[in-house]
Structure 1
Amino acid sequence: MNEQTIIDVVIPAYRPGAEFRELLKRLSRQTRPVRRIIVMNTRTETDVQALLADCPKAELHELDKNEFDHGGTRDAGARLSDADYLLFLTQDAIPADEYLVERLAAAFTEPRIRAAYARQLARPDCRELERFTRVFNYPEESRVKTAADLPELGIKTFFCSNVCALYERETYVNLGGFIKKTIFNEDMIYAGGLIKAGYAIAYAADARVIHSHNYSGIEQFHRNFDLAVSQADHPEIFDGVASEGEGIRLVKKTAAHCLQIGKPWLIVTLVWQSGWKFLGYRMGKRYRKLPRWLVLGCTMNRAYWK
């Protein structure tokens, strides 16, 4: 990727606030400039235009709440761009420094790499279990993933988080982009198709954003239910790809970490949260066998089922 390569940014937004303003400020200070920042905002009472006032590269595109879709909204933003590369961010992903875009771009070291994603660092208020999960999912070592890694990595081969990920646009368009209607997990669905088409994904550990959440056990249940629904809906991507083993490995590593830091009582919370995750995942995989009222009680995205 040379210096003339054009990069546009796409950010879905819903009631953005101070974090979003900080994101825009840090994007404007990048050593590798972006051309446009396309904000796909779901209409609310929030004055988003005021948040964009100090960012001349930002442009606002609004949609109604019933029009939002995790895949479709991002794809609509992508279709507004003719750039060479598309950088997708969530509104709460804060660039850790001024080198984020430069280092993501530098991850395209070989022609087969058509996507790269950044390392996620925990926020200062992040709880210990989630902080370790960040370290587990986003290690210090960069890596390039291809279909050859499926026996070793399983479903993690398809991991390419849209919290912060850069995509080569021509390939994105040729492969159909993000699925237009999905409950969740549009990034992994696209990444799976990318890998199956013979391309590669780069994990750029030196490109960093600050992003984490302190989810409760119930919130983890809802998230994992929707994650599993997305996998059940796309057998062409996920069938035959090992998935649950990675979750078990995370639990074991986290338990060992709790003992290592002298906080064994956190294992109780770990078991509680892991149980909710597992239950949500198993129910989501079998959602077609569940009554509609139960599905609506399990999902975090009720609008998807309308």
Structure 2
Amino acid sequence: MSDVAVAWAKAQECVDENGRKDRNAKQTLVHLASYVDVTGVGWAAVPVLALEMDVSERSVQRGLRTLEAGGLIAKTGASHKYMGRLLPFYALALDTGHANTSRRMRAEAAARGDRVSPQGRAAGDTVSPQDPPPGDRVSPGDVAFVTPPGDTGVTQIGKGITQGLKPSASVRASEAAGKAWAAKAPERVAPKRVEPSWLAAVERSRESDERLLSAVRACVARDPDFGRGKAMNLDRWLDEDRFMAWLPDDGALAQAPVVSGWAGPAHIRAAVLEAMGEAGVASYLNRASWDDRLGAIVAETKIGAQRLMDGAGSALKALGVSVIAKGAAHG
């Protein structure tokens, strides 16, 4: 979910074809926004939206048509299969309208000719619970209304980790990672889950944000799973330390993983190359070893073994070669 998209959706004015305010369309927009990624693109099943909104599916479909007609959402042309149905990806028009409710209130007050205070309220207005108290610094994005006084360059962590503060460098790196991942697999990015996973991965691995971001970009560029539509959720990829295989050499933020190359028989490499391409060899075969006694490829991980079987299983079987995970040869 993108907090920026939800804040944007709440600030938009949704009207029907006659120019009347359409509460159903507004509710549809806000709920749809809770499913998009950092780029404002996402999909959602109509029955799910109807259940969450407590309305009929027809009402949701009518709301989506109104939003499309008003230019607030647009189909991207991509689709996602869910429970036997092809669901379109929608792109929210985040670059139009007001960024959030605070900015809309200021703009409307200015349009009325009201005198606006530095905090964004018309003079004489009472302070609502969500308005920033006088003297507090407004956060740069105006999404979370205030940052604690005296803090610089930090923002509160989300619900996943509630007791600490997240450095701004990690915030920026996490957002950049999400954008890189979403370029090929937007449905696999959930910013609220990515941010705590990112922070935990940095702390656990002792790697810098820059090196971890380099690993993300290298994976997006080279992992064949992205081309086959089998990319993992970014937060899970971080939680399972999948980034370790894609970290660059010390001294350079490379865009590809550092591997030693396949040390086994050349004809096996040729078979995997034909079936999975150079990316498949680099991602999975080059990290595996060869067990001549068993006549088997020994993959570093179970997932690596599974990827080799999925991509080149038939070719390897024809050669009499099996694929096992590390540890299985002696277990």
TM-score in terms of structure 2 length: 0.26
| More contact order relative to length (CA 8 Å, sep ≥ 6) | 1
Could you say which structure has the higher strand fraction? 1
